[in-house]
Amino acid sequence: MKKVLVVTLVVLMVVSMLVSCSQPASPPSEEPKAPTEDTKAPEQEKEPEEQGEEGKAWKIAVMPKLIGIPYFNASEKGALQAGKDMGLDVQYVGPTNADATEQVKMIEDLINQGIDALCVAPNDPAALSPVLKKAKDAGIVVLDWDTPANPEDVVYSINQVDQQEYAQLYFDKAVELAGKDDFKYAILTGGLNAANLNGWIDAGLEYAKEKYPNLQLVTERVPTDESQQLAYQKTLELIAAYPDLEVILGYSTPTPLGAAKAVREKNLIDSIIVVGSTTPNDSVEYLDDGSLDLGFLWDPSKLGYLAVFAAKEVLEGRELSDGQEVPNVGKISVDGKIVIMGPPSVWTKENVRDYDF
């Protein structure tokens, strides 16, 4: 009996030892087994940032050639309205005169502020090129608007109108009003380095050379620094120097108004035709008395709106497309980097009050 009991105890001890050896010393902790998807979460969070974060309150700076004149006051309203409509942080900043050096300083400051996008109207594309490249290197989306920068410095160039169409409009309307194509004329411009103004003037002169070869330009284009007062003074000088002057073409919105004021003062309303880019609200008194014969332009508030819209599209990873319908602007034309808002409007004494900007 004792022998059987001893054998039984030995067998039980052996079985117990075998079971003990077949199991881990301690059960594994659950903590090291983190879910696999947790390690991938940071990559998923970065994805929207790489592709563009829709709905983000992007910081967008819009810089005109200068502030304080009606044209750029109107574009400011459009830019700020776009910011409100789209939930963006839009600031409108620019120099008090058409000074490229001041623009460079202001852009340096905007870079330090950490803006997301810059829409700039350069007074001198070459002078701004280094600082625009610096902005791009800092990750800022750079577009131009109203006047072009160097093409390599921007992702889009927001143009008001088709350059050729607008350039031809000046000469066709002047010839139509004069009733002949052999008059003497002068050109008043804003700044000599303004790419948009030079583009319109150069294209117009080439067009006139072919279509109206008998027109006579009395002197080189006359700069007025985007100042109505200086345009007035320069027109008085032109009238004194060229008594047979018959037509003045004004490029940049203050120039036709300054010219019209001088023509009125000298009682030459019936002798000198004045046409050019103007805002309708500022043109009324001159159109009414005939010192300004014709004004044409686009709605600058829509241009400011379009610039902000385009910046937002780029920031959110979308491209602009030809024929795209833009809210509060209308259908745009797109050819590569070139974006055109649409054809200009023309106002006369009869229809100028139909516009309000």
Domain presence at residue 354? no
pLDDT digits (tens, 9 = 90+) for 337-351: 999 999 999 999 999
What confidence score (pLDDT) does residue 64 get?
98
What confidence score (pLDDT) does residue 14 get?
35
Give the separation between CA 201 and CA 216, rounded to whole angstroms.
14
Domain presence at residue 262? yes
Q: Are 260 and 295 in contact (CB under 8 A)?
A: no
Provide the total of helices (H) and of strands (E) in the chain, helices listed first: 11, 16
Domain that holds residue 185: 163-297
The whole-number average pLDDT for the span 4-12 is 37
Mean pLDDT score across all residues of the chain: 88
pLDDT digits (tens, 9 = 90+) for 149-161: 999 999 999 999 9
Same domain flag for 125 and 185: no
Number of domains in the chain: 2
Domain presence at residue 43? no
Same domain flag for 261 and 285: yes
CATH code of the domain containing 129: 3.40.50.2300
Rg (CA), the chain: 34
Same domain flag for 63 and 171: no
Q: Are 112 and 106 in contact (CB under 8 A)?
A: no
Give the separation between CA 240 and CA 77, rounded to whole angstroms.
40
Domain presence at residue 42? no
Same domain flag for 167 and 292: yes
What confidence score (pLDDT) does residue 52 get?
53
pTM above 0.85, yes or no: no
Give the separation between CA 71 and CA 84, rounded to whole angstroms.
21
Strands 184-189 and 247-250: parallel
Say if residue 250's pLDDT is above 50: yes
pLDDT digits (tens, 9 = 90+) for 166-225: 999 999 999 999 999 999 999 999 999 999 999 999 999 999 999 999 999 999 999 999
Q: Are 298 and 355 in contact (CB under 8 A)?
A: no
Residue found under tokens 């109206």 = 212
What confidence score (pLDDT) does residue 53 get?
67
| Residue 61: strand, helix, or coil | strand
Domain presence at residue 304? yes
Same domain flag for 74 and 130: yes
